[in-house]
Structure formats: C-alpha cells, structure tokens
Structure 1
Amino acid sequence: MNKQLKVLFIGTYVPKECGIATFTFDLLNSVSGVHDDIHCEVIALNDPSETFNYPEEVVFQIERDKLEDYYRAADFINQSDADIVCLQHEFGLFWGHAGDYIFALLSGINKPVITTMHTVIREPEPEYRASTEKLIRYSEKLVVMSQTAVEMLKDVYKVPDEKIEMIFHGLHDYPFNNCSKYKQMLNLKGAPLILTFGLLSQNKGIENILEALPDVVSQYPDLVYLVLGATHPMVKKTQGEAYRQYLMNRVSELGLENNVVFHDKFVEKEELCNYILASDIYASPYLSREQIVSGALTYAIGMGKAIVSTPYWYAQEMLSDNRGLLVDFGDTAGFKNSLLYLIENPDECNNMRKKAYDFGRKMTWENIGKEYNTVFSKALKHYNPSPVVQNRFNFLPDQLPEVKLDHLKLLTDDVGIIQHTNLGVPARHYGYSTDDVGRGLVALTQLIDSQEKAEELRKLITTYMSFLEHAQTGTGHFHNFMSYKREFLDEEGSEDTLGRAVYGLGHVISCPYLSKNIRTLAHTLVSKSRTQMEKLSYLRAKAYTMCGLYEMLRADVDADSFESVFNSRRDAVRSVDSLIDKDTFESIFLSHADSLVDMYEANRKEDWNWFEPTVTYSNAKLSEALILAYNYTKDRTYRRVGLATLDFLTETQWRGDFFDIVGNQGWYSCDGEKPIFDQQPIEAGYLTQAYISAYETVRERKYLELARYSFEYFLGRNRLRTPMYDYSTGAVCDGLNCDGMNCNQGAEPIICFFMALSSLNKHAGEAYSALSQPTVSEEGLPKRKSLLSANQAE
C-alpha cells in the first residue's frame, strides 16, 4: 500500500468483560501487526452508565441505549481520516428493535463497512430478518466464521457469494504440550481435569455434564470439573445468581462437592489460556443448536484439547474429521460414555488432540489478521458509495410547495389558534397562546400580495387581531396563555410574548392591502406597549420587537399617517393617551440594536461568534434583527455583527448537505457539546428568514442557497431524512426527537413553515436556478474569519 491504511473498529472493547470485547481487541492487534502502515482505532460500546478506563486506541464511545450517540458516531466517522470501518455485529450489542439503533450510524456514514457477523439466524423472527437484511445492505463485505454461516447467508438471506468472506475466529498460538506444568502453575487438581469456561448463563447447559458425572466419578474419584467464569452481566442484572445457585444445589444433590469447582470470576486472556492449557478435557454442552460461533471452542481447538460438545452448528463443523466428540442435546448417557472413552483411551484421545491442534494453526491471530487485511484491500478497491450516501436527499421536490391553509384554518376557531393537536386533531385542553397569534399575523401578512389575497385572509387576521386586543393588559403588556374556557392563565406573559405580539402587529401595520381600521388598531396596541418595550431585558424579546418595529419604520408609519382615521373614530383615539411618534419607535429600535451588539462584543471569543455563552432557541431571529437594523440605518456595525452571528449559526448547524439544528436537550454552550435532539422546526423557519434578509442585504448567493436548504429541513433535508410537512393536509410536525418525529402538528410549526415559505417564495426562481452551480454543497462554506473579513471590508 502506498499510504497508511486506517481502520476504525466498532464493538465492545477491553477492559469490558465480554467475549466480543476480547475478540475486538485481538482482531485489532492482529490487523495492526500485519504491517507497519496499518493504523487502528476503536469506537467502543458501553452499557448504560458504564465507564471504563480505555486504552488510547479508543477514540469515541457510544452509550448503546442513546440513539443520539450513534448519530454522533456517524459524524465522527465522516470527519475522521479512517479508510474503512470494521463492525462487530451481535444483535444484543445495540439497543432498539433487534439492535436497530446501529442503523442510525450505518445509514449516515460514507466509508466502506466490513461487518463481522457473530450471529446468523436460520429462522429469524420478522424484526430480526429485517435487521439482518438492512445490515447486509449497509455492508460492503460480510465476514462469518464458519461455512455453515456462509450457506445460511446465501440460502436464507440471498446474499451473493462475492459479498461473503469466511474467516475463522482467531486464537493465540501456543505450543502443543501436556497439562501438568500448567496445573502446577495454577495449583489445580484433577485427574482428569475437565473445563467449561465463559460467562455463565443458562444456555451453557452445564447441568447436563453434572448429571453425567456420578457414574464417571465412581470409577475416577480424582476427577475435577472446573466451571470457570463470572455470571453474564446482563443475566446477573435481571436474574441475579439464580442459575449458579441452581447448579450448586444440583452438585450437592448429586454428591459431587469434592469433584465440581466453581471459579466465579472473569479471567484475563493470559490467565484464561493457562486454565485451558491445564485442562485435560474441554466440555462444551451448549443447549442451542443455533450457535454459529464459539470463541471458547475455538481456543480449546487451537490449544489441542480433547473436546466433548453438543452438536451446535459451529461445533459440528469445527469438530468434524475426528477432532472431537459430539453428544446429542440432553443426552446424559452420551456425555458419560464420551468422557469415559477419552479417559480410558489415552492414545485415541491424544490423536484427537493432535488433529484439533493442527487444524487450529490456520486460525491463529497472525493468519486471521492477514485475511482481514486482504478483505479490507478488496473492499476499498471496489467500493463505490451508494446513491443513497452520495445524494441522501434526492427525494426532495424541485420546486416549493403551494400555500395550503387547511391545517391553519383547522386550528383556528372564533377565539384564536389552538396551540397543539393530538394526532392532527386540535387538542382544546391546551388552549391558545399570544405567542402563536403574534407570529401567525406575521405569517398571514407575508402571504398577502394582492387585495384578493387580503380578502381571503381577512377573517383569520381579524380573529387574531381580536385575540391580541383582548390579551393586552392595562400596562400595555400581553397575557400569553388562555384556556379553552376563554380564561387567561397568567398575569402577563414573558418578555418574549410581548416581542412576538409586537412582531405580528408591526407586520399588520406595514401591510398595504389591509384596511386602515385594522392597521390603526395594530398601531394603537403597539403604542400602548411603548413603556413595556423600553423595559425589555431579554435578547430575543428585543429581537422580536425590533423585527416588528422595523416593519413600522420601513413603512414610514407615524401619527400623521392615521390622523384622518383617528379624527373620524374618536373612541379609538381615547383608547390611547397619545399616539407615539416615529422618533420614539426609532429610539427603542436603535436602543435594542445597540444592546444586541454590546452583548455580542461581551461574549464573543475565538471560535464563538455569538451573543451569549449558550446557543438556545429562536437563534436566527437575533441575527436577522441586526441585519434589518443595518437596512434601516446603514450602520455597518449592525451588518457586521448580524452576518457574523448568522455565519456562526451556519457553521454550528450545517452538515454539508443538511442542517443539524441545535437540540433543546441541554442547548449548546461554548464549552460543551451540541445536543442533537430535540430539534424544533421553528429554528429552520427562522434561519430561512434570516438568510433571505442577508441575501437581500449583501446579495451573496450562498445565503440564498442556505435559505433553500434550511427551508427544505421541513421537507426532509434533516438528520432523520424525515419530511415534517404533510402535503395532503398542510400540517407540519413539531420536531425531531431521538426516536423519530414528534407527531404533534400544532400552531408553531405550521406558522414558522409559512413564514419561511413566504420569505423564500420571493426568490424562488433564483433559489432553484442557483443550485445548478452550488457553492455551499460542493465548495463548502468559507471559514467564519474570512466571512468577517469580507463583511468588514465591504
């Protein structure tokens, strides 16, 4: 090879006490020992709340019951310089139905996968068949450890020959020798010494050997049967030591206390090999015929032991040609006769041992490492990423969906918009929210491009305006939550509630197709909120307020604009002490803009271009507010900070072909890890709006492309490749969780969808034609510092 081959193994790993952990460790060392130019690393699987002091080759860990960790591992693999992934697969290693969590990882990586299958099921239940077939699709090569498994893959799962590789389970190379030296070393007795080892569980069938021993012991009273191994951790967790206690009770009942010894411990590899070398006979009385591989049996073969075993698949194959004795399942007499035969016929026993030992030479780890490296080389040579990996989002439409208001109208009654649904049916017990109504007005006014459209939406807008007028308190603030009984549930809402109400009212005021009456009412409500707007302290409340005030200021709204209306409607005038003039609104607007800049300067640092030490919710609205402030004032500081923070959000969430929105399970702090779930579609909607504002401000095509990609988050361009928008109903699901899509189809997601759709619709032709020569997906985004430099230079 002309360059170093880098292999990334996935499996349990030492010091975890399990057979696959030991296998992964031995396989890694055998592969890396083949050639100096092979570098190996490990992604280790842990049980819940399990921690280990891993060796340095472990570069990533997965807590196997956390789906999010599998997604993170996929990201890690894609960003690593690994050439190939070698997966150790056993259904029980991974969480989910038939271990299907692993597919969150496999479906997201762009490296060839070589899968070592530690289990193959001949007659699988439907979920295990589906899981196996999926594993086959995602694997470049399948490695199995017996010819029986090869035939099973071909017959049961229709796997082509060229995809299957048969490589034996590895074993350590020890010389052929007698047992006395190792018995003395371990202070073991037994003439003969019979051994069964491995993590203890009921499938081991040890009781069948116990039942056979009384007749053998009556002739050979010095015989010792050593059962070596701790109880399997999962068995111990669910059943305690019930099986071990059952075996010990049976020993007492059979009078075998002097002949059966239990060593309840997990032994390290070197000590284990010494125990095997000390034994005269290895007993493998497994109860399940479907056992497709056994590391314990492999070790016994390679060390030249006389072997008695039940005829499970792996044993049948490995012990053929007189390399051991097979006894039918549950045949106590057969075990007795086989043990007596080996004890009483030393020449035949020694010949059997030699045959097993000679066969085992092809299974030494040195040879196994060479075979795996050959498979790796073949896989790399012929690997072509599947179309799914090359273009995971080829199911997306090539045009924007039409505006479909059915679901929004379904959620809206004569009071307001119901917050949530139960399987798409409005859930009345959740009531209404000013937050939704305020943003709903933004969405509706953005959809209006003609007098006809205004008339179509008049009833919805009037209902929402009626709600806000009723929700406003005497201080100018707003209640937020109203029950279905039309009772407000709070004294007043949060600062965000005020900001969202002003956001919606500002859009009503600036919409030229709405009647003067409804625009005057909106202006009146905003004017009543002046004192509350001046007192705002939270950044997002300020940003929402700025977006609403920008619409008012952009439309050049002041007291003179409504003079004729107010003169004819004295009651309306009396509802406000006096109209607030344009200078007052402008002062509030600029004060909040300066506050955002101050927070940015106070919290920014290297690799953290953000307003706060944590990225939380409604993030892009902060950047958009400053971009709008630049549009109104032409103060380049606002543009610099607005674009820098928007670019930071892009770097934080853009994965190269989809947006991975900051999840709300802990948010994302500057010294922490970005949570993946739960992802809220409001963030994608706000990103789309902010990118469109940035594009309209600086005319850089990348912002238009990003606007399309962030909008397509709703259509399936997301981590789970799951469409959240329902074309048939116009509903939008409420988020992406670790276990899939949140099926609530409430007010917030559909409103944010419309806000994003309206923003992008203004440039739909450009957005789709721009992607014929994409800059974001192929060339990648410029780094944040270069963006800042460019923005400052302009």
Structure 2
Amino acid sequence: MNQSLSPSAPVARVAFLGNYMPRQCGIATFTTHLRTHFQQRFPESESFVVAVEDHPGAYDYPAEVRYTFSQENRREYAQAARYLNESGAEVVSIQHEYGIYGGESGRCLLDLVGRLTVPVVTTFHTVLEHPSATQEQVMRELAALSARVVVMSEKGRFFLEEVYGIETGKIAVIPHGIPDVAFLNPETVKPAFGLDGRKVVLTFGLISPNKGIETAIAALPAVVEKHPELMYVVLGATHPNLVREQGEAYREELIRLATELGVGNHVRFENQFVSQERLIDYLQMADVYLTPYLNQAQITSGTLAYSVGCGKAVVSTPYWHAEELLADGRGVLVPFRSETAVSAALIHLFDDPAYRQELREKAYAYSRPMVWSETVDQYRRLFSNAVPRDVASIPDALPPLKLDHLFRLTDSTGILQHARYTLPHREEGYCTDDTARALLLLSWLDADGEIVDARIPWMIDSYASFLNHAFLPQTGRFRNFMSYGREWLETTGSDDSHGRALWAVGGLLARTRRSDLRNWARDLFHRGLPVVLAMHSPRAWAFTMLGITEYLHRYPGEVEIRKTRTELGNRLCGLFRQAARPHWHWFEPVLSYDNARLPQALLCSDQPDHQELGLHTLEWLRDIQTAPEGHFRPVGSDGVFVPGQAPALFDQQPLEAAASVGAYLAAFAYSGQDLWREAAVTAFQWYLGRNDTGLCVYDEVSGGCYDGLQPGSVNLNQGAESCLSYLMARSEIRAVPFFSSVKPISHIVANGTDRALSPDHSS
C-alpha cells in the first residue's frame, strides 16, 4: 500500500468514468463510492460522472451523472471523448473492467481514451496472469494512453510489470476503499436481525456460479452437527446478467442443495441489493465472513475489503486478493472447492472464540489505512500528479514569432489588460503595467529585426502615447488603471507600475531609431526618476535599475543616473541583510511575484558587491524554482512562500518564467557559466510543456499565452500580462545557441556594459 506521491493541491475538476449506481454491479458500486467520498473529502473540487450503460435509459441516475453513453455503440465513445475534452475536467478517472465496455475485450474504450486531451488515471479492477492476445493488447494500449494506472494489490502491480510490461513508475497501488466503522461485538447487533443466540456466517455479493456458494453449503452439515445454532446468511441479489439469461434458476438450485443436505433451516437467502449502510449492519452482525470463490484469478474483491474493514474473522479460498489481504494471520485460507476444509475452519473458529477474536483484531488494525478518507487522499495526490510528461516532445527550436494576439489586445488607446479566452475583456480596461511591458517588448522586437510587421510602429506609438498620458507632471508619478471609457481610476499608480514604466521608457530610449521618440523618452525618464528614491517597493527599485541600465546604453557617462542605480542597488542589498536567514537567502520574508527581477537588477549593476549578491540570491531562487525532475517550477500564486512552509505549487504564472529567463541570461552574461544558459532554456520550456502538467502554456494558434498553470490544466484566458511574458521570454531566449535555428538578440545586458548591443542599434 505504500505510495510515493508528492503532496499537491487538489485538482479543480475531476471526471469519473465507469458504471454507476443504481446499476447493480461491483464496478458501479466502487465508482459511486469513490466519487462520493472524493467529493465529501474535497468539497473545493468539482466532480462529475460519465456513465457507460448496458441498457441506455434504464437507470435513474443522481445529479452528478452528467453524461451517458452506450457500451455497445462505438460512435458514442468518440462523442463522450469530445464531451470530456470540452468539460473543463482536469483529469479523468476511469474504472476498467473488460466486460463493461464494448468490442472484443472492451477495446472500444481505446476509441474514447485515445481521443482525450485530458490526463487519464485508469484503475484496473481485473489484471489477468494469462490474458488472451486481445486482452493483453487492450491493457497495454490503455496503460500507454494513461498518465498513471492504479491497482489495488501488490500482486496486481507485479502482473502489470511482468506480464504487460508496464513501467514501474506509472503504477500506483491504492487499496480498495472501505467505510470507517466501529469495531463492534456481533452479539450487540444480532437481535436487530432476529439472530440473537446464533452463530452467524455471512457471504455477500451478487450471486453467480463463480462465487463457490455450493462449496459453502456442502460444508455446513459437519458444522451444524457441532454447532446447531449456526446460521449461514447469503446476502445479495442474483447477478443481473444471470437473471436475464436464466432467471433465478441458479438461486433455486442453491436452495434445493441446502434442503437436500438437511441444512435448509440453517441457510437464509437475502435476495436484495443493499445499500452500503445496510451492508455494514450485516457485516457487523456476522461472526465469520466466508468467501469460497472458485477462481484464483481475482485481483480485487470489494466484499473482502469491506469484511476486513469491519474486523471480521474471514475464511476464504486463496484467490490473489485474499492471499495478500489475509496474510500474516489476518484470516484463514482454505483450498478451492474443499467443503472439508471449509467445515474444519468454521468449526475451529467457533470452538475457539479467543482465536476468532485475535483474527478480528488483526484484520481491523490492518485495515485502517484502507478507509475511504485515506484512499481518496491517495487518489487526489495521484490526480494532481497525473500529468503526461513527454520531455522528448519539447521542441529544440523556437516557435515562430506570432504577434496576432498582442495585436488583438491592442487598440489606439493602449493594450487591454485582460481577456476572456482570447477575446479582449474591455470591461477591465487598461493599465500602465501591461502597456509598459508591451512598449519594452516592441522596442526589443523593432531593434532585433526578426520580424518586419507594419503593425509594430503603430503599436509603439499607441503604447508610448498611453504612458505619456499616464504621467502626471505635478506629482512626477504614473497613473496605472484606466477604464475602457478612457477615465483614469486613480490619481497615483503603484510603485511597481512606475518602475515598469521607467524600464520601458529606458528600453525605448536605448533602441529606437526615431529621434522624436528618443527625445520624448529621455525627457519622461528624467521627470519620472526622482520620485523612485522616495518609494519603498523593492520591485520598483529593481525595475528602475533595469531601466537605468537600458538608459546607460545610450548615455553611459551620465553621473547622476549611475549614482541613482548604485543607491537603489544599495537599498536592495540592505533589504537582503535584514531579511536573510539560514536557508532563506532573499530580500524579503516572502517570495511573491516577479521574483527573479530583483537579482537580475543587481546583476545589471556596475558594482561588484551588487553583482555578487545578485548571483548568490539567484542561485538560491533557482534551486527553489527547480522541480526534483529538473524542470522549471515557479512558486505558485495560490499563496506566498514563507520560511518554514512549502511553496504553493499552483497557480503558476507566465510572469515568473519570463522573469527567470531574463535573470538567468543576465547571470550567464555576468559569469559566463553555461549552467545559467541551460537554466534559461529550461525556464523557457515551461511555456512549451516541460512543466508540472506536461501542458503547453503557449497557444500557437492564437499566438497568446494562457493565464496560468493549474493542477492538470491551464487557465484558458489569455490576458496581456501572460501574452507579453511569453513574448518577452521568447525574445530574450533567442540569444541562446541551444535554439540553433535563430540568430542572437541584441539586448541581454550585464555588468553595466554594452556587450550584447549590436553596432546597428546603438546610434
């Protein structure tokens, strides 16, 4: 049962696929209980059911069943896949049993799973040691299409590895869930069933010939002779498939056998499909639970799991699940089809109450990790980690530069900050933060000359005009938020937006060929710079330092500008001295957002102590932002990271990847160490799917970028910040020879030098 799953946040939406109650079968019962307990345990998640039907329209499903399809209609499997792909589900939990899906050995299920774009976790309820060729092929293909597969026993894991060749790391062993019930004395429960004073043996489940009930009845005469107070209760409806084919002929044969053997008064047939609550009552009433199954090849038995969970003394034939669950003295195993052995085991248990009690206590203690709350905890961790990661599929060349979505968000006022899917969300207007990012990006692209696009000059004018209007000369500050109706929503923007505006204006000044824009940018930079010294935001200082570094490309000898950068760098170093602790090498007592820009600003200083601290803190941040598997994992925005606590895994933001690409490349320019260039590539590949979910965050169709990475899914909105973060990271990563198909860029700077600025762009 040991499962090595790292903790992670619950997925927001889970789809469960399989049979579902009120359909009467073991898989339907399991799916119903798994979904019910999952929803109870994690109410913050949403879950729903897609049910496969043997008789379409015959079942009155509860509200959580949102979609059904016929097991024999192959076309409906493809339709169900389309529904799941468009449902918003972040993971699909599939219950697999050969007989519940159409086609030979249930291969129609492959039509559905093969079309899913959502990660799949498949629970195998049957794992055969000697499958037919088709059964083996279906299992192999289904496992290959699944992010993870689940079995309920170590025997199942062994068969998946040895018989089906499934890799160990893909397999999880999660026990069959059981209700968490009290350990009761059966004598306190028997009166409610009219069985006080009786010794009760119970068999439960859908009645069919493979359950071995004939063997149990044949064993009773010897037991009744020794213990005439015995009552054998056979609880369960006849299997629906058997009823359709033969009616109740099989049950009538069992009744006739009991009469012929003279134990008819010692067998009670309860022909009903009972609720879980009623089943627990029956189990707690029984002294002994008996499973005389005839076939060894049963990898899972829910009824056996429930009986152990209720602390029953169990007598069972040695099918695979029983061998594992009843090992180490937790039950009694008897040979298949041996009524003599069954008789002897039952007599021993009733002759020796102390031994029976010992078995009960061992079984109950062993079952505690199997209760549903523990089981769904393991499934939740598996769901959150069930993301297909195919690192080999990550491209080793840059996607083509595509500005379509950036243009879609831009109008004559500026850039709209948010989107609903890919459509601009005009209700939330504009902001200086995003317009500054857009102006900086466009100044890079215009200078790089990678793409000739007539829209670029127009967009630069739009963004520059917005910043020009955002600046209030009387305060020396930029306003930040503007409504779609062009009304400013504040008189003073945030410190961080002010710093970003200066960075953008400095970048434009350094690279534009237009003297009119250069004169405007220089004037605005000088008017907006002084107030930064009165600010307290470390990010405002860092963004301003990056803007100053850009400014100094064109005017490297400006003394006061250099002094301001040194002063702001000294302040960042002072913050580090105040906040740093053992194992916490950072400028603040939290990690929040745009983190890598702080060390990047120090690396771009011309002061050796600034640069050394920038490299040191970036090394620490890089370690925090690297997953054990080696991919980039930024601190999620679903909370802040503070010492002594684990960082939030999600919602991971495109902003953090862009900041890290820029900082890592600054570290490479400063140190010359290839590890920083490799780290930048790894951070950029986060957009392309080398991340905790294996999902692409960049949308190559729209040219935009999704707003965040969630457990098993992306935030489908594509706002300006996300789009600009991707495009800025892509622009910067062009300098890396790893992407050999593209030429270097001209704007990676460090040490206060102009080493990366080409002569064509410096005049």
Q: TM-score, normalised by structure 1?
A: 0.54
Q: Is 2:493 the partner of 1:493? A: yes
Q: Deviation of residue 469 (structure 1)? A: 0.8
| CA distance in structure 2 between the aligned counterparts of 1:151 and 1:193, rounded to whole angstroms | 47
Q: Is 2:672 the partner of 1:699? A: yes
Superposition map of 1:251-650 within 5 A? 279=287, 292-295=301-304, 350=343, 392-449=390-447, 457-473=456-472, 474-511=474-511, 513-556=512-555, 582-630=558-606, 635-650=607-622
Aligned position for 2:322: none
Residue identity in the other structure for 1:637: D
Give deviations 1:557-582, integer Å, cap 9, x for gaps: 68xxxxxxxxxxxxxxxxxxxxxxx3
Q: Is the 8 A contact 2:96 2:123 kept in 1?
A: no
Aligned position for 2:702: 729
The structure showing larger relative contact order (alpha-carbon pairs under 8 Å, at least 6 residues apart) is: 2
Q: Is 2:209 the partner of 1:194? A: no
| CA distance in structure 2 between the aligned counterparts of 1:746 and 1:417, rounded to whole angstroms | 10
Residue identity in the other structure for 2:630: D
Aligned position for 2:150: none
Aligned position for 1:378: none
Give deviations 1:505-525, integer Å, cap 9, x for gaps: 0111111x4311111111222
Give deviations 1:16-75, integer Å, cap 9, x for gaps: xxxxxxxxxxxxxxxxxxxxxxxxxxx6xxxxxxxxxxxxxxxx8868x814999xxxxx
Structure 2 residue ranges without an equivalent (≥5): 15-30, 40-46, 51-93, 142-158, 166-173, 176-184, 206-226, 236-275, 293-297, 318-332, 351-358, 367-385, 743-763
Q: Is the 8 A contact 2:190 2:196 kept in 1?
A: no
Q: Which of 623, 626, 631 is residue 654 of structure 1 equivalent to?
A: 626
Q: Is the 8 A contact 2:204 2:303 kept in 1?
A: no
Q: Is the 8 A contact 1:482 1:489 kept in 2?
A: yes
Structure 1 residue ranges without an equivalent (≥5): 1-7, 11-42, 44-59, 71-87, 100-116, 171-181, 200-219, 229-261, 308-317, 325-346, 358-362, 370-387, 559-581, 771-794
| CA distance in structure 1 between the aligned counterparts of 2:534 and 2:342, rounded to whole angstroms | 93
Residue identity in the other structure for 2:394: L
Q: Deviation of residue 686 (structure 1)? A: 1.0
Q: Is the 8 A contact 1:68 1:676 kept in 2?
A: no
Q: Deviation of residue 728 (structure 1)? A: 3.2
Give deviations 1:687-725, integer Å, cap 9, x for gaps: 111111111122111111111111121111211111122
Q: Deviation of residue 426 (structure 1)? A: 1.3
Cα distance change on mapping 1:9 and 1:143 into 2, 3 Å? farther
Give deviations 1:630-674, integer Å, cap 9, x for gaps: 3xxxx2211111001111111001124310110011121122111
Residue identity in the other structure for 1:620: A
Superposition map of 1:183-222 within 5 A? 190-194=196-200
| CA distance in structure 2 between the aligned counterparts of 1:678 and 1:623, rounded to whole angstroms | 23
Cα distance change on mapping 1:353 and 1:732 into 2, 3 Å? same
Give deviations 1:474-513, integer Å, cap 9, x for gaps: 31111111111011111211100100110100111111x4
Aligned partner of residue 99 in structure 2, secondary structure:
coil
Q: Is 2:659 the partner of 1:666? A: no
Q: Is 2:39 the partner of 1:66? A: no
Aligned position for 1:122: 99
Cα distance change on mapping 1:585 and 1:118 into 2, 3 Å? closer
Cα distance change on mapping 1:640 and 1:263 into 2, 3 Å? closer
Residue identity in the other structure for 1:604: A
Q: Is 2:758 the partner of 1:759? A: no
Residue identity in the other structure for 1:401: P
Percent identity among equivalent residues?
A: 25
Q: Deviation of residue 120 (structure 1)? A: 3.8
Cα distance change on mapping 1:693 and 1:725 into 2, 3 Å? same
Cα distance change on mapping 1:658 and 1:613 into 2, 3 Å? same
Residue identity in the other structure for 1:649: L
Q: Is the 8 A contact 1:304 1:356 kept in 2?
A: no
Q: Is the 8 A contact 1:480 1:492 kept in 2?
A: yes
Q: Deviation of residue 743 (structure 1)? A: 1.1
Give deviations 1:258-315, integer Å, cap 9, x for gaps: xxxx999999xxxx99x75xx378699xxxx9995421697799968699xxxxxxxx
Q: Is the 8 A contact 2:508 2:521 kept in 1?
A: yes
Cα distance change on mapping 1:305 and 1:150 into 2, 3 Å? farther
| CA distance in structure 2 between the aligned counterparts of 1:628 and 1:348, rounded to whole angstroms | 82
| CA distance in structure 1 between the aligned counterparts of 2:477 and 2:459, rounded to whole angstroms | 23
Aligned partner of residue 528 in structure 1, secondary structure:
helix
Cα distance change on mapping 1:671 and 1:266 into 2, 3 Å? farther
| CA distance in structure 2 between the aligned counterparts of 1:89 and 1:764, rounded to whole angstroms | 52
Q: TM-score, normalised by structure 2?
A: 0.56
| CA distance in structure 2 between the aligned counterparts of 1:765 and 1:283, rounded to whole angstroms | 66
Cα distance change on mapping 1:639 and 1:515 into 2, 3 Å? same
Q: Is 2:684 the partner of 1:684? A: no
Q: Is the 8 A contact 1:624 1:690 kept in 2?
A: yes
Aligned partner of residue 611 in structure 1, secondary structure:
coil
Q: Is the 8 A contact 1:549 1:585 kept in 2?
A: yes
Cα distance change on mapping 1:124 and 1:320 into 2, 3 Å? farther
Aligned-pair Cα RMSD in Å:
5.6
| CA distance in structure 2 between the aligned counterparts of 1:298 and 1:683, rounded to whole angstroms | 51
Cα distance change on mapping 1:118 and 1:148 into 2, 3 Å? farther
Residue identity in the other structure for 2:737: G
Q: Is the 8 A contact 1:615 1:667 kept in 2?
A: yes
Q: Deviation of residue 121 (structure 1)? A: 6.3
Structure 1 residues 544-553 or 529-538, which shifts more? 529-538
Q: Deviation of residue 450 (structure 1)? A: 6.5
| CA distance in structure 2 between the aligned counterparts of 1:183 and 1:508, rounded to whole angstroms | 82
Superposition map of 1:110-259 within 5 A? 120=97, 122-124=99-101, 157=139, 162-163=162-163, 190-194=196-200
| CA distance in structure 2 between the aligned counterparts of 1:600 and 1:488, rounded to whole angstroms | 36
Cα distance change on mapping 1:424 and 1:490 into 2, 3 Å? same
Q: Is the 8 A contact 2:506 2:547 kept in 1?
A: yes
| CA distance in structure 1 between the aligned counterparts of 2:483 and 2:187, rounded to whole angstroms | 81
Residue identity in the other structure for 1:420: H
Structure 1 residues 714-723 or 447-456, which shifts more? 447-456
Aligned position for 1:710: 683
| CA distance in structure 2 between the aligned counterparts of 1:510 and 1:153, rounded to whole angstroms | 66
Residue identity in the other structure for 1:66: P
| CA distance in structure 1 between the aligned counterparts of 2:34 and 2:279, rounded to whole angstroms | 25
Q: Is the 8 A contact 1:471 1:480 kept in 2?
A: yes
Aligned partner of residue 714 in structure 1, secondary structure:
coil
Residue identity in the other structure for 1:706: A
Cα distance change on mapping 1:406 and 1:121 into 2, 3 Å? same
Aligned partner of residue 294 in structure 1, secondary structure:
helix
Q: Deviation of residue 589 (structure 1)? A: 1.5
| CA distance in structure 2 between the aligned counterparts of 1:282 and 1:292, rounded to whole angstroms | 12
